[in-house]
Structure 1
Amino acid sequence: MRGANLRVVATWRWALALLFVLLATLTCVRLGIWQWHRFEEKSARADVIEQHYDAEPIPLADAPASARTKLAASDDYTVVKARGHYCAEPECVLYVRNRVQGSSVGFWQLVPFKAVSGQTLLVVRGWVVAGQTDSVPATRPDVPSGEVELVARLRPTEPRLTDRPQVEGQLHSVNAPDVVSQAPGLTQVLEGTYGEAVRENGTAPEGLAGLSKPETSIGPHLSYAFQWWIFSVFFLLGFVVAVRRTLRDEAEEREAEPDASSAPGAPGGQASPSAHGRSYRYGSTRGGHHRSRGTDEDEEDSLLEERQE
């Protein structure tokens, strides 16, 4: 029986079906793993935002060490405070292009801030809408002069976009090398981070829209991960069910077929019909058994019938 079952499923059709099921299962498993990683990333980011975003500020001099090279994800949105002054020279007031606020595209105003500790922090003071040509800010808010007590949230700097032409007074991304190239007098720049201004002397920056709070929703990634894994199980179960049904149908067909050993004319089977297309049997009182009529007896019966006519 096992050999017969093996012959039923050992075909190219079933081999291709198995290959498809394995590929589909592997794809669903990998997609589930990807969704799980996305869930973990968003969950970790949400935890960092909730922990740091509204925390009490720490001195800029005590900022995480990663701020000097590349701000670590675990240090994102760390709130710092410092006293110092902005670089108010025209070459220091820069605008970062293509920044979206709500449904509008505009600019970030970026100005280097020189702290009394000697460190220079690149500070995004806020957002301003673009002009009608979308290539320049609609307004250019003034930068505070004199000493400023700054509170800002640290963010990691962005990659340089070297494939785009440099525009005087503007930046394509927030990074220290591009800022220093337009304001060469800067020193001790924290190259791994920049600040999003929260307060200047106790109030929000004037003439600029504050940056929106980042989204902390984790999204449906966890449920999507389990859905993909459930799909992978369905593919395997579907294949097993299809094989079992096929084997069951084949077994029922074999049971319905007549036994070849009992077929007429087979060795040890029933007697074959006579030359007249049928066999003749008549009763005998001996032991209640029957025997076949001979050819002579058939001829005698035929003669008797003719004489009676």
Structure 2
Amino acid sequence: MNRWRFVLSIRWARYLGLAIVFAIACGLLSWWQLARREEKVVENARVAANYDAAPIPLDEALPRLDSYEPDDEWLPVEVTGVYEEQLLVRNRPLGGKAGFELLAPLRTADGSVFVVDRGWLPVGSDVTAPETIPAAPSGEVTVIARLKPGEPSLPGGTSEAGVLASIQLEEVARILDEPVYTEAYGLVASEDPAVAEMPIASIRPEPDEGPHLSYAFQWVIFAIIGFAGLGFAIRQEYRYLNAEDPEERERAAKRERKRAAKRTDSDVEDELIDSGGR
């Protein structure tokens, strides 16, 4: 036991403390990755449950202008009204290309406005606006759209040309100065009557949990490696401090014989070449 007394020193206690702190940090990061995976699992389940569901009336899904629950995401709703002047949202990339989202406020019979995202448009030649903006159906239109939560505001806000920085529904309400559904908007699925020219519609999200589970396992492995490294360092110092001990010298000789037995002919030739070169 006296041979291992060195591990009781303050120096090795500090090394152990560092290994413990490192393991705790790895554990927290692993837990974070598992939590992110769980969010993906819930999101995938929500898409599977809602995306192809039968549409329900808007006022049933959102009984108030500020109604919205996370479980409502992707739920199809049906609403009838008249489109007002369309709005653009800038900096919306798709497939590596810059573009805009085209928003169309839909005024319903009770005077409230539901914001419909009619799709994506690529930037035009001057990059400050799309080349063309497809017109929305005129007159009364029945829209089926999938609910999405409103987005937070972004620095820069609405430009002088009236282009939004994000789908910030309270900002839309400010621009229109009308009662707007401020917690959720809709990704258009269909319009009746339909128009010939439409922006590029959104597509169904692919179920994907991401690499979070493998990352979680990696952080656990890193924690184990930390303790393994500490154990290796302790073992190396033990061998150094007890190099003259007969038992340790015998173990060192056995290790050397094993290494020698594993040498290949190529290793021997390389050693001969190196010794001849010197």
Contact preservation (8 Å) 1:76, 1:156: yes
- Map 1:3-14 onto structure 2 (within 5 A): 4-5=2-3, 7-14=5-12
Equivalent residue for 1:75?
72
Partners of 2:102 and 2:184 lie apart in 1 by: 16
1:238-263: per-residue Cα shift (whole Å, max 9, x none)?
Answer: 43455467558867855669xxxxxx
Does structure 1 conserve the Cα–Cα contact (< 8 Å) formed by 2:148 and 2:187?
A: yes
Residue 197, structure 1, aligned to residue 188, structure 2: yes
Deviation at 1:126, TM superposition (A): 1.3
The code of the aligned residue for 1:181 comes to: R
Q: How does 1:80-159 map to 2 (within 5 A)?
A: 80-87=77-84, 92-159=85-152
Q: Is the 8 A contact 1:39 1:221 kept in 2?
A: yes
RMSD: 2.7
Change (3 A) 1:138 1:176: same
Gaps of 5+ in 1: 258-309
Alpha-carbon distance in structure 1 between the residues aligned to 2:16 and 2:95:
50
Residues 267-278 of structure 1 correspond to what in structure 2 (within 5 A)?
none
Deviations 1:201-239 (A, max 9, x none): 175773311123334211121121122112212322443
Secondary structure at the counterpart of residue 149 of structure 1: strand
Corresponding residue of 1:172: 165
Q: 1:231 — aligned with what?
A: 222
Is contact 2:156-2:165 (8 Å) kept?
no
Using structure 1 for the length normalisation, give the TM-score. Answer: 0.71
Separation of aligned partners in 2, 1:47 and 1:101: 24
Distance (whole Å) between structure 1 residues aligned to residue 206 and residue 228 of structure 2:
39
Inter-CA distance 205–167: structure 2 relative to 1 (3 Å threshold): farther
Give the Cα–Cα distance (whole angstroms) in 1 for the partners of residues 195 and 244 of structure 2.
84
> 1:143 is paired with a residue of what secondary structure?
coil
Q: Is there any run of 5+ residues in structure 2 with no aligned partner, and where?
A: 249-278
Distance in 2 of aligned mates of 1:165 and 1:190: 19
1:35 aligns with 2:28: no
1:25 aligns with 2:17: no
The C-alpha deviation readout for 1:116-153, integer Å capped at 9, x for no partner, is 35432011111111112211121021121111111001
Cα offset, 1:157, TM superposition: 0.7
Q: Look at both structures and tell me which one has the larger radius of gyration over its CA atoms.
A: 1
Question: Counterparts of 2:233 and 2:162 in 1: how far apart (Å)?
Answer: 68
TM-score (normalised: structure 2): 0.78
Q: Which one-letter code corresponds to 1:44 in the other structure?
A: V
- Measured at CA, do residues 204 and 158 of structure 1 come closer, stay the same or move farther in structure 2, by a change above 3 Å? farther
Give 1:307's aligned residue: none
Preserved contact between residue 108 and residue 126 of structure 1 (Cα < 8 Å) = yes
Equivalenced residue count is: 248
SS of residue matched to 1:232 = helix
Which of 208, 222, 244 in structure 2 is aligned with 1:217?
208
